[in-house]
Amino acid sequence: MIEVFSLTKRYGGHRGFIAIEDITLTVRDGSVFGLVGYNGAGKTTLLKTIAGIYRPTSGEVRLDGRVGPPRTGELFIVADEPYFISQATPHTMARFYRGYYPAWSDDVYLKLLAAFGLDERARIEGFSKGMARQCGIALGLASGAKVLLLDESFDGLDLFKRRLLKRILRAYARTCNAAVMITSHNLLEIEDIADDLGMIDGNHLVFSGTTEDIRQSYPGASLEEIFLAQGNGDAAILDVEALFA
C-alpha cells in the first residue's frame, strides 16, 4: 500500500518553485489508482517522490506502513522516458533487473515482449519512443514489485496495445496484490481501469475518491465533466469562433 501524507516538494529553497503541495492520498493493495492532471501539474514529481528519487520538502510517504526508501525489489517505476543501459537489448535489461527483483519472472517478460512485438535481441536505442516505453512496461510487470508506478504509459501505444495494457494492469494489481498507480493527462485513458481516481491541478490534489463514489456523488455527469469542473481547465477557453476571423 502507498500512503502519502501532506507531501510537498519545493525546488530552490524556501522561495523556490513548488512542484507539488500538501498532497494526501492512498493507493490500496490490489487496486489501480489513476492520477489525472494537465501537463506540468506535478504528476511526475509526485511519482518520483513516492519512488524515493526525490526527497520531499515536507510530509512523508509510507510503503506498507514504513517510512523511508523502498526496499530492494519492492517498487518499480516506469518513467515517461525509461532509462536503459547504453547499447542494451531487452535481453540484457532483463539480466540487469533480475538481480534486483526476487519475484522477477522470465516467463512474464518474454510473453509481454511477444505481445508488444519487441525483439529480445534488438538494441533498444533503435526502438521508437513507443517501443522503448513498451519495453519499460514489460520490465516493470515482470519485476513482481508490490508497488508499480507508471508515468504516461499509454502515450505511444496503438489502440490494441492500450486495451491490452489496461487488462494487464488490472490483472497485475489483483493477482500480485500490488498497489498500481498510473498517471495520464487524458482521463478517458484510465477511467475504465482505475478503482480510485485523483486529479492534480495547480500542484494540489483537488479531487480524489473511488470511481464508484465519484459517480454516485455526481449522478448523471460524466467523469470528464466532473474533473473539468474541479480543475482550472476553463481558464484556457478562447473565443474559438473569432480566433481565425
Please report, for the domain that includes residue 28, its CATH number.
Answer: 3.40.50.300
Q: What is the pLDDT of residue 232?
A: 58
- Residues 29-48 as b/e (b if ≥16 CB within 10 A, e otherwise) read bebbbbbbbbeebbbbbbbb
Which residue is listed with cell 480524489? 208
Backbone angles phi, psi at 69, to 5 degrees: -65, 155
Q: What is the pLDDT of residue 245?
A: 65
Query: Residue 98 domain-assigned?
Result: no
Give the residues of the chain that fall short of pLDDT 50: 235
Q: Which domain covers residue 35, as residue numbers?
A: 1-67+179-245
Query: Residue 93 domain-assigned?
Result: no
Closest CA to 25 of 15, 35, 40, 11: 35
Q: How many domains does the chain have?
A: 1
Query: Residue 59 domain-assigned?
Result: yes
Q: What is the pLDDT of residue 144?
A: 97
Q: What is the pLDDT of residue 78?
A: 96
Query: Residue 34 domain-assigned?
Result: yes
Which residue is listed with cell 513482481? 144
Write down the pTM of the prediction. Answer: 0.90
Separation CA 69–CA 87 (nearest Å): 29
Query: Residue 41 domain-assigned?
Result: yes
Pair 128, 118: CB distance under 8 Å? no
Separation CA 177–CA 28 (nearest Å): 9
Give me the half-sphere count of Cα atoms (radius 13 Å) on the Cβ side of residue 10: 13
Query: Residue 211 domain-assigned?
Result: yes
